[in-house]
Amino acid sequence: MYKALALASLSLFGAATAQQVGKEQTETHPKMSWKTCTGKGGSSCTTKSGSITLDSNWRWAHVTSGYTNCYTDNTWNSTTCQDGASCAKNCAIDGADYSGTYGISAGSDSLTLKFVTKGTYSTNIGSRTYLMESDSKYQMFNLIGNEFTFDVDVSKLPCGLNGALYFVEMAADGGMGKGNNAAGAKYGTGYCDAQCPHDIKWINGEANSDGWQPSDNDKNAGTGKYGACCPEMDIWEANSIATAYTPHPCSVKGMTRCTGTECGDGDNRYNGVCDKDGCDFNSYRMSVKDFYGPGMTLDTKKKITVVTQFVGSGSDLTEIKRFYVQDGKVFKNSDSTIEGVKGNSITDAWCEQQKTVFGDTSSFKKLGGLKEMGASLARGHVLVMSLWDDHAVNMLWLDSTYPTDKDASTPGVARGTCATDSGKPDDVEKNSPDATVIYSNIRFGPLGSTFAEPA
């Protein structure tokens, strides 16, 4: 929701990206299978082979002719990168050592992302990965009329971390061929989301080096002049304490480069092309405080199956429903117990009730609500699986009292039990380097096809 400077990465080799293809490390995508289902109840599912690629922001970028970094720590080499276009021509992004450098490993149908990985040359923080259909194309999904189901283990995710599984309207080829982008989806290019992030190093085949400001609290990140906007459907943003699912519509289609007001920067948060707040369903925020957490109804000490249904047809999306399964038992999503907000699923009406009662600005409605979200989903989305800490607001919007200066008893302010001084990147990186999220057993198909839906 307040996702901003999400990234982090390498230090010595300098997390870097570029647009030509480097030859120093062969890119071998970890394999991860998933299933498409038909019929009812999850009994007729077919396994599809798939694989994972790492986002280009995390990759080593160096001059095409050798080993010199194009980007080191949080700055660009001003000789090689005098402007974005020539930088993208001069620099290459390379293959990834998934487990050694990035702490990413895939089982047959699972993906494990480890938080801090100390490699030979670098310390890596978090990661962002995409599901691929082939070596050079992202797997595209149209969620409308379908349900998306996966298992997740959040038991090793403390306050301040976010194991996120979500969809964004990226191009299937990662923008291959745009500008100087010769790397494409194989190397994880083309990311965008509804925060219109400025920390994206390569946009439309150019380096985002213009006006680049090194972050003042993240030694691996910075922000450029351009942002990368696109509609985003957050299926799962969570740690062991709190979780939310959130549609974020935008007025733009697909990956769109922005500057200034259209990015919704600073005071223009509600004047941009994307709905940065989204319409979030977080059970704790809807005042059900014993539903999700360690030892609770959904026990985050154990694996949880998460089912999300996109009710509608064509490009019409009318409702986003949530079920959970744990230990063979199916749970409906918790009902809101906030006065004036009724229901346990996301509809336009529910969102407006929630925004009104919480006193939040409804950029969700202004940017078209579920109708616009549906139009975006129907164009096709890419599946993202990531793990990150939050250099902007310590993930307090997800798991704590936020804004921190408001009374936790004010409706909408309490989002989880994490302390208001928790989640600082320095603390979590030092104290919880082994934090890990495991995503597994992805299933996709028409409503009711992936699990035994309650009557």
Ligand X SMILES: *[C@@H]1O[C@H](CO)[C@@H](O)[C@H](O)[C@H]1NC(C)=O
Q: CA 370 to CA 246: how far, in whole Å?
A: 11
> Residue count at the site for ligand X (CB under 6 A)?
6
In whole angstroms, the minimum distance from the beta carbon of 72 to ligand X comes to 6
Cα dihedral 151→154→155→158 (10° resolution): 180
Query: How far apart are CB 23 and ligand X at their closest, in Å?
Result: 17
The answer to whether 237 is a known catalytic residue is yes
Q: What is the CA radius of gyration of the chain?
A: 20
Best CA proximity match to 156, nearest among 125, 117, 114, 108: 114
Residue choice 18, 54, 61, 63 for contact with ligand X (CB under 6 A):
63
Nearer to ligand X by C-beta: 93 or 288?
A: 93
Q: Which stretch binds ligand X (CB under 6 A): 72-80, 191-199, 259-267, 439-447?
A: 72-80
**Is 24 labeled as catalytic in the residue annotation?**
no
For ligand X, give the closer residue by CB, 69 or 112: 69
Point out which residues pair with 5 in neighbouring strands. Answer: none
- Closest residue to ligand X using C-beta atoms: 77
By DSSP bridging, strand 146-153 and strand 91-93 are unpaired
Q: How far is the CB of 75 from ligand X (least distance, A)?
A: 9
Surface-to-core class of residue 330, CB atoms within 10 Å of its CB (0-12 exposed, 13-18 middle, 19+ buried): middle
Q: Least Å distance between CB 391 and ligand X?
A: 24
15 vs 418, which CB is nearer to ligand X?
Answer: 15
In the bound state with ligand X, the residue whose beta carbon lies nearer, of 63 and 418, is 63
Residue in 147, 169, 206, 237 annotated catalytic: 237
According to CB under 6 A, which residues from 74 to 133 bind ligand X?
77, 79-80
How is residue 91 written in tokens?
């620099």
d(CA 94, CA 326): 40
Minimum distance from residue 70 beta carbon to ligand X (Å): 8
Structure tokens at 21: 């293809």
Q: Which residues of 259-282 are buried (b: 16+ CB within 10 A; e: fewer)?
A: eeebbbbeeeeeebbbbbbbbbbb
* Binding residues among 297-316 for ligand X as defined by CB under 6 A: none
Asked whether position 67 contacts ligand X by CB under 6 A, the answer is no
With beta carbons less than 8 A apart as the criterion, state whether 371 and 316 touch.
yes
Binds ligand X (CB under 6 A): choice among 11, 19, 51, 69: 69
- Closer Cβ to ligand X, 89 or 178, answer by number: 89
Nearer to ligand X, 87 or 351 (CB): 87
> Taking the complex as a whole, how short is the minimal distance between the CB of residue 340 and ligand X, in angstroms?
58
- The beta strands (E) that lie in 115-226 are given as 116-118, 123-125, 127-132, 140-141, 146-153, 161-168, 202-203, 206-207, 213-214, 222-223
For residues 443 and 165, the answer to whether their CB atoms sit within 8 Å is: no
The residue annotated as part of the active site, out of 232, 262, 372, 429, is: 232
Query: Any idea which residues carry the catalytic annotation?
Result: 232, 237
- Residues that bind ligand X in the complex, under the rule CB under 6 A: 63, 68-69, 77, 79-80
